[in-house]
Structure 1
Amino acid sequence: MYEDEKRGGNKQPYYLLTGFTETLEQCELRDLGFVGEKFTWEKSRGSHHWIQERLDRGVATQNWRDLFPEAEVQVIEVATSDHLPLFLKLNKQTYVPKERKFRFENAWIREKECRNIIKHGWESDEAMDIVGKIKICGERLQEWGGGISDEFKRKLSQCRDMLKRLQSRRDNQGIRRYNGVRDEYLKLL
């Protein structure tokens, strides 16, 4: 069960693995499995001391599993930690898109056009009250910024996908590419 869950470093002492397995059995707990990256922790990426290990797991009793038969444990990809968090999804739901509400994106501040849209929206009708001006600015920003937000989300998604593909590469080029993509991802965040 645990032999293929570590890459690099010293093997776990047999008595620890046996003790863990016995504790799970005594408590009638079963591993829920996982979806995503196999290793949930790493240390010293790219060095001779690089260790990857599945330290985290979800476990449950059979009674709990009967209550939540569709439950799955997902390993969440992050580029900001040596630990990958787990997300327990209790059921599979279909996504129903909702009406998009206006949300100002801080990334827009870096765009020169953002300032122009706000300036023109604010100056469009001097007799309009502040609520009306805010509404006009919001509508114009949403119309303009939707494409930028979609592009931004696309770039984030591409970085996450690439990090996932490069996650387990141990060659120098793979490590360099992973670090470069991670830096780009962090800059976007």
Structure 2
Amino acid sequence: MDAFRETMDVCGFHDLGFRGNKFTWQMGLHMRTFVREKLDRVIVTEEWGLFFPRTAVSTYSLYVSDDAAFLLDEGRGGRVGHRGFKFEPFWAADEGYGSVVKEAWDKEGIGGVAEKVQRVAGELKSWAKVQFGDAKRRLKEKEDELGRW
């Protein structure tokens, strides 16, 4: 680890750190075998920091994979009134999820990775609206109903 830190210093790199769970990987189902580690980092150059001074990185829970998902926000802000894409981990448990992702990714006429990711997000958002409706609202209603018992 010392050699890694020294290399980062020599190259002028720095770790952005992140908000959320400090562990990016976990394995094991029982307390005796459960392991959590910070394996991943977001490394940037000094120039990156000058271009994107408000950059923030967030980690998300390890629901589906043993590796955490990251969101890099370069701090430019979103469009007014634009509701961004929010992945819901329970989608991955639905049998239709994989085919939606694959079809959107493989769709003809889409260029690079950024465009493919945007297409997948749009398709998943539409699919989830039909497949699950407003699941969070319905869950809250059911919780409230149970609370009245």
Shorter-chain TM-score bucket reads: 0.5 to 0.7
Q: State the TM-score, normalized to the length of structure 1.
A: 0.44
- Could you give the per-residue CA deviations for residues 90-120 of structure 1, whole angstroms, max 9, x where no partner exists? 0152563359xxx55123xxxxxxxxxxxxx
Equivalent pairs counted in the alignment come to 96
Partner of 1:28: 12
Partner amino acid, structure 2, of 1:153: K
From 153, 158, 179, give the equivalent of 2:136: 153
Give the direction of change, closer, same or farther, for the CA distance of 1:156–1:18 in structure 2 (3 Å limit).
farther
From 31, 46, 53, give the equivalent of 1:69: 53
**SS of equivalent to 1:105:** helix
2:13 maps to 1:58: no
- Residue 156 (structure 1) shift: 7.8
Give the CA RMSD over aligned residues. Answer: 2.6
Partner amino acid, structure 1, of 2:130: E
Runs of 4+ in 1 over 6 A off after TM superposition: none
Partner of 2:119: none
- Could you give the per-residue CA deviations for residues 110-142 of structure 1, whole angstroms, max 9, x where no partner exists? xxxxxxxxxxxxxxxxxxxxxxxxxxxxxxxxx
Partner of 2:28: 44
From 122, 131, 134, give the equivalent of 1:106: 131
Aligned residues of 1:29 and 1:62 also touching (Cα < 8 A): yes
- In 2, the alpha carbon distance for the partners of 1:31 and 1:91 equals 17
2:107 maps to 1:82: no
Any unmatched runs of 5+ in structure 2?
A: 84-125, 141-149
User: For the pair shown, which has the larger CA radius of gyration, 1 or 2?
Assistant: 1
Q: State the TM-score, normalized to the length of structure 2.
A: 0.55
- Could you give the per-residue CA deviations for residues 54-102 of structure 1, whole angstroms, max 9, x where no partner exists? 1111111111101000101111224101100212110152563359xxx
Partner amino acid, structure 1, of 2:19: V
Sequence identity percentage: 31
Bigger strand share = 2
Aligned residues of 1:45 and 1:51 also touching (Cα < 8 A): no
Partner amino acid, structure 1, of 2:2: T
